[in-house]
Amino acid sequence: MRRRTLLASATALAAPALRPAAAQPAPGRAETLLLVQEYGPNSLDMQGLGSSQPVNGVALNCYDRLVRYKRVPLPGEGNGSTFDITSLEPELAESWQEASDGMSCTFRLREAAFHSGRPVTAKDVKWSLDRAVSIGGFATTQMNAGSMEKPEQFVALDDRTFRVDYIRKDKLTLPNLGVTIPFVFDSELAIRNSGGDPWAKEWLKNNVAGSGAFRVEAFRPGTETIYARNDDWKSGPMPKLRRVIARDIPSPSTRRALIERGDADISYGLPPKDFKDLAEARRVKVVGVPVPNAIWYVALNAATGPFTDVRLRQAVAWALPYEAIMQASLFGRGVPMWGATGGPTTAWPQPFPYSTNVARARELVQQAAPGGLTTSLLFDAGSATVAEPMAVLVKEALAPLGITVELNKIPGANFRGELNKKTAPMAINRFGGWLDWPDYFFFWNYHGNNSIFNIASYQNPAMDKLIDAARFAPDAGSYAEAVKGFIGLAEQDVPMIPIAQPLHDVAMQRSIGGYQFWPSREPDFRFLTKG
């Protein structure tokens, strides 16, 4: 009897598995992309608190923004595109017009629908942007970076007209609408499921309520995320891929084996050495884009400890073995940030005038600390693949000068805490700003408001004045002057020594086309093609 029930239940269970799939033929391998990455999203809501880096990919593919950046082809055949942040293209907005006084911008929305079938209205846009400036955490900080600070700035004029009022003239306001934070939710659906929370934080963490090109078919944190194409997408050309499987493969060796064997289509986040090997072997395509506004650097504490003396900071800048670091820790996957000749330009990142010159370094140390000194260097265990060899090389290079460096490797959860203390004499870090303007970088890293990224705790009123002048410069001439001014000051005071601008590398099969690089660095499935 018992056995019979078991058999009966077994067949009952088998039945759904044997039933043929839905009427539409399932996407075949040619229309399905398999992507492998170290770890996947921990939420589906990029505005939410504590969202991990891959959540940007969900925002990009499953939600629409008002605008996106103009796509610019990368050099090299079939390498895909990067972007021009100063030139915007329509996404949900079909057109926009800045007011003649330059203090607001009015957007006309296209006729688009959410995954739920509801039309996208200006009310939804307002709710979403209100949410971004009110929810706190990273989303709000990012909105503030473009001078979007209060819900009152967002006005729904009618169903398809939406206006952003400026609180000040800020060249970052419009570009900041293209990052992965101000995306548009189906506000009615979200509110209906919110369970009383005005921003539906819990529900949106596990559910997509967007109008984007893909919906999330399965979300299994720590294992995989499966995306399926939204066939009614209106905000761009219909994606070629019908299904994307993003698997979390923690071991980089396994991710490399998968791409080399041809089982995975795209592999993200390999160590620089693997990208170098893959690029040299040429079997798979490696696309490396210099990450805009990003630098690996050594910060020297200008507020406490030995490096308050500018001569010692300059000594370290003259002593660093730049070339060795580039080869041994980045394996050449970066753009050199040393050895500049001629004065500063307006480009950013740009090389500093230092290079390895031990004699000059020794001379400066003799002047400032003839007896030598002992100090420590902080770095994040989470980025140890690059930072650890870098730290060892720094230690080795400073030892002959009489500077004894103790290495201090800190696990990820504690690293930010340590940085926040602002007491580390030396630290290795990588900063990347989404909005690609030098004054944006300097505002976070050099300004006297002493954000967490100003690891050197560098305070200089002259620097603040130049940064503020550039941020709100009335014309191109004064802007260029201010930028050159603060870069020159940074080169002279070196509270941070730039080493290299990292490349963002992605390995993909030769059959994969349409790669698109965005500030968030996450894969955009909307333009990818296969075969």
Partner 1 sequence: MLRIALSRLGTAVPSLVGVVIVTFLLTRVLPGDTASYFAGPVASPEAIAQIKAQLGLDQTLPVQFGRYVSDLARGDLGTSLGTGQPVLREIATRLPASAELTLCGLLLAVLVAVPMGILAALRQGSWVDHLCRVLTTAGVSLPVFFTGLLAVYVFYFLLGWAPSPLGRLDAFSSAPPAVTNFYLIDSLLAGDSETFLAALSQLALPALTLALFALAPLARITRASMLAALDSDFIRTARASGLAGRTVVVTYAFRNAMLPVVTTLGMVFSFLLGANVLVEKVFAWPGIGSYAVEALIASDFAPVQGFVLTMAILYIALNLAIDLLYGLIDPRAKAG
Binding residues (CB under 8 A) for partner 1: these are 9-11, 13-14, 16-17, 29, 32, 34, 36, 42-43, 49-52, 136-138, 140-142, 205-206, 220-224, 245, 247-251, 253-254, 257-258, 260-261, 263-264, 411-414, 416-417, 420, 451-453
CB of 523 to partner 1, least distance (A): 16
Q: Say if CB 502 and CB 294 are below 8 A apart.
A: yes
Distance in angstroms (rounded) separating the CA atoms of residues 130 and 174: 16
Q: Say if CB 152 and CB 114 are below 8 A apart.
A: no
Distance in angstroms (rounded) separating the CA atoms of residues 221 and 209: 18
Distance in angstroms (rounded) separating the CA atoms of residues 277 and 286: 10
The two three-digit tokens of residue 175, written as one number: 């570009």
CB of 206 to partner 1, least distance (A): 7
CB of 22 to partner 1, least distance (A): 13
The two three-digit tokens of residue 465, written as one number: 């004045």
Distance in angstroms (rounded) separating the CA atoms of residues 321 and 361: 12
Give the number of other Cβ atoms within 10 Å of residue 12's Cβ: 9
CB of 464 to partner 1, least distance (A): 19
Query: Which residue number, 257 or 324, has a Cβ lying nearer to partner 1?
Result: 257
Query: Which residue number, 404 or 423, has a Cβ lying nearer to partner 1?
Result: 423
CB of 84 to partner 1, least distance (A): 25
Give the number of other Cβ atoms within 10 Å of residue 100's Cβ: 7
Query: Which residue number, 264 or 398, has a Cβ lying nearer to partner 1?
Result: 264
CB of 298 to partner 1, least distance (A): 18
φ, ψ at 67 (rounded to 5°): -135, 160
Query: Which residue number, 422 or 465, has a Cβ lying nearer to partner 1?
Result: 422
Query: Which residue number, 205 or 333, has a Cβ lying nearer to partner 1?
Result: 205
Query: Which residue number, 50 or 400, has a Cβ lying nearer to partner 1?
Result: 50
Query: Which residue number, 155 or 245, has a Cβ lying nearer to partner 1?
Result: 245
For residues 333, 338, 340, 346, the Cα torsion angle rounded to the nearest 10 degrees is 70
CB of 58 to partner 1, least distance (A): 12
**DSSP notation for 473-512:** -SSHHHHHHHHHHHHHHHHHH-SEEEEEEEEEEEEE-TTE
